[in-house]
Amino acid sequence: MRVSFSVFQRFVLFAALLAGFALAQARTTALPDFTTIVERNAPAVVNISIIQNHPGALLGKNLPLPELPENSPFGELFKRFLDPHGGGMPHGYKTRSTGSGFIISPDGYILTNRHVVDGADEVQVRLSDHREFTAKVIGADEKTDIALVKIDAKNLPVVKLGRSDNLKVGEWVLAIGSPFGLEHSATAGIISALGRSLPSENYVPFIQTDVAINPGNSGGPLFNLDGEVIGVNSQIYSRSGGYMGLSFSIPIQVAMNVADQLRATGHVSRGWLGVAIQDVSRDLAESFGLSRPVGALVAQVVAGSPAEKAGLRLGDVILSFNGKEVEDSSALPPMVGASPIGKAVDLGILRDGREKHVQVVIGKLAENDGEVEPARFGEPEQAASGRLGLVVTELDSRRRQALKLRGDTGVLVEKVEPGPAREAGIRPGDVILMFDKRPVRDPRELKKLIARAGAGRTVPVLIQRRADGPMFLALRIPKS
C-alpha cells in the first residue's frame, strides 16, 4: 500500500509538470513573432526629412530692438534673432522635421502623410542602406492626409500591400517608422477599433490601435501578421504630445485609391451625393419609427445635387449604400467619396416609416465644398409663442438670404423659455424649418402643427443653426 501510493504521487507530480509545461508552451506559441516581418519589410521603410526655408530673422521681421547699454554682450545676440539686417542671418534660416514613409513600387514611388511634406522646400529620403535622395512631391490630398513622393532610383525593395476591409478588432499589428528621428523603430499592439471617425476627417474610416506611435512615425506602414501593409500611421490622441495609447491609421485601400489618382492625374476626385447628414439618436429613432438608432439622417439636400435629382428628401434616413449597411452618419462619406463618379448606386432609405430604395448617380465633389458665412440678424419684428416654451418670429427676405434658405419655409427662434424646446436643444437664433416632418412657413403654422402633435409623442424638428447648419432635434410633446 505504501509503495503504490508513492507511485501515484509520482504520477500526479509528473502529470502536473507536464501540464504546466504544455500551458507555458501554449502561451509562448500564442504570442506573435514579429522578427521575420521586420527583417523582410524594414528595407522598404524610409525616413523622410523636410527642409523649410524661412527668410528674415528667426523670431520676427523688423521687431524693435530693446535698449541695451553700449558694448553689451547681448547686443549681437538680439541683432541675430530679431533684426533681419543684423548680419548674423542675412539669408534667413532653415528648419528641419522628420517623418516616415514606405516604398510601394521598385521605381521609387513612396507613400507618406500629407502633413509630413506640407510646406516643404526640400524633401530628402533616406533608405535603410543609408543612401539619400532628394524626392519630388507628386501630389498630396488634404482630406485623407495622404501624399505621394518619388525618388530617382530603381530596383528598390517594396512592401506587400494587404486589404483593410477584412480586419478584426483584437488582431495583432506592427508599425515601423522613425519616432523622434530614431530610424526603423518597430512597435506592436492590437487593433482597438475600426471605422473610427475623427473630427473634421469625413473621408477616412480610421483604424484605431494601441501601437506606440510618436512624432516621426507619421506616414509609416502598419502591418498585419502576414507582413502586409494594412494602414498608414497618421495621428495620435495625446494631451502631452506623445503616445498615450490611442493611435490612428488610414486604411491602405483608402490610401492607395488616393495614391493611384495622384500618380495618374496629380489630384484626387471624389464622389458627391449632395446631402448634409447627422447621427440618429435614440429619441430621433423613436420619432422616425426606427427600432434602434441606425443610419444617416438627411438634414439638408443641396440644390441641383445628385441627391435632389434622385428625389431624396429632408427627413429620409439612409440605411444602406449599394448594399452595405450604414451604421451611423460617419460611415456614409467614405462610401460616397470612394464611389466612381457617374456610377448609379442603390440607397436604402426609411421614409414616412417605410423602407424603400432610391437610385442615385454619384456626382463629383468640388474642391471647395461650400463654407457658409455666419449670418447676422437684427431685432425681430413679429413674434408668436407656443406651449413648448418657444417665442418665434417670421423671417424677412434679408435674414432668409443670409442663411441661404430655399423657398418660403422657416421661422426664427427669438426666445426659448424653460420647457420641452429648451430640453430638446433649441436655442435663440435657430430657424425652425420643419416640425413633425412638415414644413413651417410662419408662426401660425407652427402653432397649428404643435396643436396637432399628439401629447406624449417625440417628434423630429429640423432647425438651421448659424454655425452648425441644418440638423434634426427630437422634441417630446408634453402630456398636459
Alpha-carbon distance of 66 to 47, in angstroms, equals 42
Q: Which parts of 172-314 are beta strand (E)?
A: 172-177, 185-198, 201-209, 221-223, 228-236, 247-251, 271-272, 275-279, 296-301
Write out the H or E segment, with its range, that includes residue 49.
strand 45-54
Q: Confirm whether 218 is a catalytic residue.
A: yes
| Encoded amino acid at 393, one letter | T
Cα distance from N-terminal residue to C-terminal residue, the chain: 88
Helix, coil or strand: residue 283: helix
- Spatial distance between the Cα atoms of 106 and 128, rounded to a whole number of angstroms: 15
What are the φ/ψ torsions at residue 210 (nearest 5 degrees)?
-110, 20
Phi, psi of 386 (to 5 degrees): -140, 175
Which is catalytic among the residues 49, 97, 141, 145?
145
**Cell (9 digits) for 59:** 523670431
Closest listed residue to residue 159, CA positions, set 41, 256, 48, 263: 41
The active-site residue, picked from 49, 97, 218, 234, is 218
Active site residue 115: yes
Contacts of 309 (CB under 8 A, 6+ apart): 360, 361
145 is catalytic: yes
Residues 57/130, Cβ–Cβ less than 8 Å: no
Contact 236, 196 (CB under 8 A): no
Catalytic residues: 115, 145, 218
